[in-house]
Amino acid sequence: MESTFAANTPDGRTTSEGPLAAVQALRRQLLQMVPVNQLTLMVDSTVLTSEDFQHQIASLLVTDCQLRAQRPAPDYLRRFLKWYLDQVERTGTQALDETLLDLYLQFLVHKDPGTTPPATTCYKTYILPKDTVGSTELAVTVQEDQTLVAHGTTGLRTWEAGLRLTEYVIWKAERLIRGKPVLELGSGTGLVGIWCGLLGATSVTLSDYHPVVLDRLLTNVALNPPSDGSAPATHVVTLDWLEWNDAKAETYRGCTVLGADLVYDPSIIPALVQVLQSLVRVECTIVIASTLRNPQTFAKFQEELAQGELEAHVMTDIDEAPRYFYHDQTSQLAEFRFLCIKQVMTCMDQ
């Protein structure tokens, strides 16, 4: 199992801040549960396995990855520790840190203290370092499923389009989010919408239809309470596109409407377009993010939009948006489409 030794940040920038920055970068990756074989390590193997670095990692694991209530899955931490201890042993120059060995043995015999989610679920924390968008670190923790499909739905995990949309709204927060109400369609884990609350939205509505997904949304909203009482109200609502009407649309007049990976089933596209039509009529700004898995399905979506007299403007500036978080390396091959949907020229200027 190989990991990368490189001084790269998630958005590809290089840094030379040394071991402390490397520990903080590793902390972010572990809390986001980046696959162990995809970890980016910002120091060489000599520094990585040094006695001081071992102590820092031990402190990190105890403080952030074990004692915190919403920590990464124990099996994931076990895999990381096995990989890291193997790196130290290979150098043959440093004694193994006893705290790290004790932690590894705990995970081996399943003596993980505290309460963890069921084995199929995990907690992932998405962190923005301080000075990225403010003077303090910002973070959102969500409970996710580790399987692609669970309880008959794909909505219990964060997909790449949702992660990329989150990064886009962080980048364009002043224009899209701050001072505006937000409605997220097909919220899934709620990552996009919960971040909007941190970015200055006046209110956030998370919506979905599947009952298990709705329960998960309530859980994830509860996991991210406002730290200073200034966060907006966040609501979770059942939204069935097949039962949508213009009266419901009026509730969301003037909202920024966001949706990620909504276009996957051709049979629901007409209902989705009807929802978008009525939201455009109540002066909403709509941004839909999609991963192009099936070009025919996406083409059908574009055809339905055109038939509904909606213009779908391809947002080319998504390629310029920073990658604040860590992405699965396979996503580098994925093709994304961000559409600004409008009926009159009131949508975002590009």
The answer on pLDDT for 126 being more than 80 is yes
Domain carrying residue 30: 4-108
Do 152 and 291 reside in the same domain of the chain? yes
Separation of alpha carbons 342 and 287, rounded Å: 9
Residue 113 located in a structural domain: no
Higher pLDDT, 322 or 117: 322
State the virtual CA torsion across 66, 198, 10, 14 in degrees, nearest 10. -110
Do 101 and 125 reside in the same domain of the chain? no
Name the average pLDDT for the chain: 86
Residue 114 located in a structural domain: no
Residue 149: CATH number of its domain? 3.40.50.150
Do 103 and 127 reside in the same domain of the chain? no
pLDDT tens for residues 86-116?
989 888 766 888 888 888 888 887 655 454 5
Do 188 and 68 reside in the same domain of the chain? no
| Total number of domains in the chain | 2
Residue 12 located in a structural domain: yes
Residue 116 located in a structural domain: no
pLDDT of residue 8: 42
Do 223 and 302 reside in the same domain of the chain? yes
180: DSSP letter: S
Residue 131 located in a structural domain: yes
pLDDT tens for residues 142-173?
999 988 877 778 878 999 999 999 999 999 99
Alpha-carbon radius of gyration of the chain: 22
pTM: 0.89
Residue 269 located in a structural domain: yes
Residue 102 located in a structural domain: yes
Do 164 and 91 reside in the same domain of the chain? no
Do 169 and 311 reside in the same domain of the chain? yes
Do 259 and 147 reside in the same domain of the chain? yes
Separation of alpha carbons 234 and 161, rounded Å: 22
Residue 86 located in a structural domain: yes
- Least Cα distance to 78 among 48, 103, 96 occurs for 103
Angle between helices 74-91 and 51-64 (to 10 degrees): 170
Do 9 and 46 reside in the same domain of the chain? yes
The answer on pLDDT for 43 being more than 90 is no
Do 250 and 302 reside in the same domain of the chain? yes
Kindly give, in sequence order, each residue whose CB lies less than 8 Å from that of residue 174, ignoring residues fewer than 6 positions away: none
Do 80 and 127 reside in the same domain of the chain? no
**Kind of pairing between the strands at 233-238 and 203-208:** parallel
Do 98 and 192 reside in the same domain of the chain? no
